[in-house]
Amino acid sequence: MDPLFLVFVVPLLGGFVLAACGHRPYARDVNVVFSSGTLLAAVWLTVRVVAGGPMFALDQLFFIDPLNVFLVALTAFVGLTTAIFSRPYMRVEEDKGKMTPKRMRLYHSMYQFFSFTMLVALTTNNLGILWVAMEAATLTTVLLVSVYRTPASLEAAWKYFILCGVGIAQALFGTILLYMAAERVIPQGSDALLWTNLAAVKAHLDPTILSIAFVFLLLGYGTKVGLVPVHNWLPDAHAEGPTPISAVLSGLLLNVALYAVLRCKVLTDGALGPAFAGNLMLGFGLLSVVAAAFFLSRQRDVKRMFAYSSIEHMGLMTFAFGMGGPVANFAGLLHMTVHSLIKSAIFFAVGHATQKAGSQIMDDIRGLIKVSPTVGWGLMLGSLAILGMPPFGVFASEFLILTTAMRQEPWATPFLLLALGVAFAAVFGRVQPMVFGATELKPLAHPPALLPVFLHLGLGLMLGLYIPPYLSDWYQQAARLIGG
């Protein structure tokens, strides 16, 4: 069996199995089993790619290269750890009566389908299928965000649906234009949307069509990335959905959307040179970083605050990829990885903390260090890591991005530094009392799943201190692929 095939067949199967039995108590474990299966397939795939280079499957409809293989591995990994985290978390939610068995079935099934759509989006070679998978990912997460059926969650899900519907429609229009440009170069129509074919002829694609297509694609997929000013859905969806979903939204879905933008950027660069797409991404990236930093300081809800932090970091990555060049691309990819790991770790810790406090309002969460020292330390360390404190990986990638910005786009550096400073003051100022303040809360009924938190933080720490040679090799290959 082809591992490339297996990597998305497993979650698809999981989705169907859990649709049948997701309401039973053992479904939590079945969910973990399927996620582990996906991770195993992803690891197998990675080994195969490391050994044998890029590969195709299903008549070139799916392919894997250095850029997407590391995202597949990351997605499968975070998918598994989130499944582990959601076992105790969702049990508490069930005990509190927020989840019924029927909703649990929907939750588990959609969790697997969501993994499936993301993995299809990552591995497909066809830009049309990429769009279909992104839209399907929206639909599954809409159901996940609204799973509590509270007025606020319905509102968030509806907003998410409408805004992403509008956004993703623009991406489809961009894809149509891309197909139109491709048809003039690639004669057999059905292959004209295959990325590998397009990349081979990218210098011959018509620049006028591509420039307009890229604007639509960037706005469209950018909505899902959470770029300002099309970010409005993101904080609501993060705040009102179950915390495991916030973790995978921030840690994975935003990455996948950015990945889609990158694939399109490669083609646009081929037709127009790097300036056009790069400048657009620079602008949107910088705007997102600055705007999100200022929104951050006004939040009262802890999950909203970290959602804005995700916007900030996605903006930073977009900025890095917009600068282009080997160092910036490398830094962008590294930032993608560490942000996924650390942001999901933060959401795990936040999830436990909010369950303890019974509220997502930061003023109500106090003294985590006494109630549950591990959760408290997890949140504290995670926050420090995401704010770019050494020796965590975010420091390394932000340092690289900033130094490259000083050299290539010196005008942008003060804005970036200001934004990072504001974000630091805002987040640290809020997290500190949450962890160390005075409280009278009692410990939770079910022990929190702390393995995922510290596993992620450990990996993030490792990436800050030492990047294994094969991993850095891999990043460099991917960075070259994006046009380093």
Partner 1 sequence: MNALISQLVNLFAAVMLILAFAMLSQRRVITLIHLFAMQGLAVVGATTVVAYVTHQHHLYYSALLTLVLKVFLIPFLLHRVIDRLNVKWDIETLFNIPTQMIVGIGLVIFAFNVSLPIARFSETISRGTLGIALACLLLSFLMMITRAKAVPQVVGFLAMENALFFAATSATYGMPMVVELGIALDVLVGILIMGVFMFQIREQFESLDIRHLEKLKED
Region of 1-9, 179-187, 257-265, 401-409 interacting with partner 1 (CB under 8 A): 179-187
Residues in contact with 208: Cβ distance below 8 Å, sequence separation at least 6, in sequence order: none
Distances in whole angstroms, Cα of residue 293 to Cα of each of 234, 237, 312, 362, 419 = 15, 19, 6, 18, 5
Q: Pick the closest to residue 460 from 369, 398, 374, 372 (CA basis).
A: 398
- Our CB check for partner 1 shows the closer of 145 and 463 to be 145
DSSP codes, 365-420:
---HHHH-HHHHHHHHHHHHHHTT-TTSHHHHHHHHHHHHHHHH-GGGHHHHHHHH
**Strand (E) or helix (H) holding 478:** helix 469-481
Region of 19-27, 31-39, 154-162, 361-369 interacting with partner 1 (CB under 8 A): 154-162
At residue 136, φ and ψ (nearest 5 deg) are: -65, -35
Q: Pick the closest to residue 182 from 131, 263, 127 (CA basis).
A: 127
Size of the site for partner 1 (CB under 8 A): 51
- Our CB check for partner 1 shows the closer of 52 and 187 to be 187
Residues in contact with 473: Cβ distance below 8 Å, sequence separation at least 6, in sequence order: none
208 forms part of the interface with partner 1 (CB under 8 A): yes
∠ CA 376-234-355, nearest 5°, is 30
Residues within window 320-349 making contact with partner 1, judged by CB under 8 A: none
189 forms part of the interface with partner 1 (CB under 8 A): yes
Cβ distance 448 to 375 under 8 Å? yes
Cβ distance 323 to 404 under 8 Å? yes
Which of 92, 181, 227, 230 binds partner 1 (CB under 8 A)? It is 181
Q: Which residue has the tokens 């030492």?
A: 466
Residue 144 CA, distance from chain mean position: 16
20 forms part of the interface with partner 1 (CB under 8 A): no
- Our CB check for partner 1 shows the closer of 151 and 410 to be 151
280 forms part of the interface with partner 1 (CB under 8 A): no
Which of 156, 230, 327, 461 binds partner 1 (CB under 8 A)? It is 156
Region of 7-15, 169-177, 392-400, 405-413 interacting with partner 1 (CB under 8 A): 169-177
Supply the DSSP symbol for 56.
E
Distances in whole angstroms, Cα of residue 119 to Cα of each of 4, 77, 317 = 10, 12, 21
Amino acid at 482: I
- Our CB check for partner 1 shows the closer of 65 and 240 to be 240
57 forms part of the interface with partner 1 (CB under 8 A): no
- Our CB check for partner 1 shows the closer of 235 and 484 to be 235
132 forms part of the interface with partner 1 (CB under 8 A): yes
Q: Pick the closest to residue 298 from 288, 287, 289, 309 (CA basis).
A: 309
180 forms part of the interface with partner 1 (CB under 8 A): yes
Nearest approach, Cβ of residue 227 and partner 1 (Å): 17
Which of 159, 339, 343, 356 binds partner 1 (CB under 8 A)? It is 159
361 forms part of the interface with partner 1 (CB under 8 A): no
295 forms part of the interface with partner 1 (CB under 8 A): yes
Contact flags string 216-235 toward partner 1, x per CB under 8 A: -------------------x
Which of 54, 87, 98, 128 binds partner 1 (CB under 8 A)? It is 128
Quote the CA–CA distance of 352 and 287 in Å, as a whole number. 32
Nearest approach, Cβ of residue 471 and partner 1 (Å): 34
**Residues engaged in binding partner 1 (CB under 8 A):** 61, 126, 128-129, 131-132, 135-136, 139, 142-143, 146, 149-152, 154-159, 161-162, 165-166, 169, 172-173, 175-177, 179-181, 183-184, 189-190, 192-193, 206, 208-209, 212, 235-236, 239-240, 295, 298
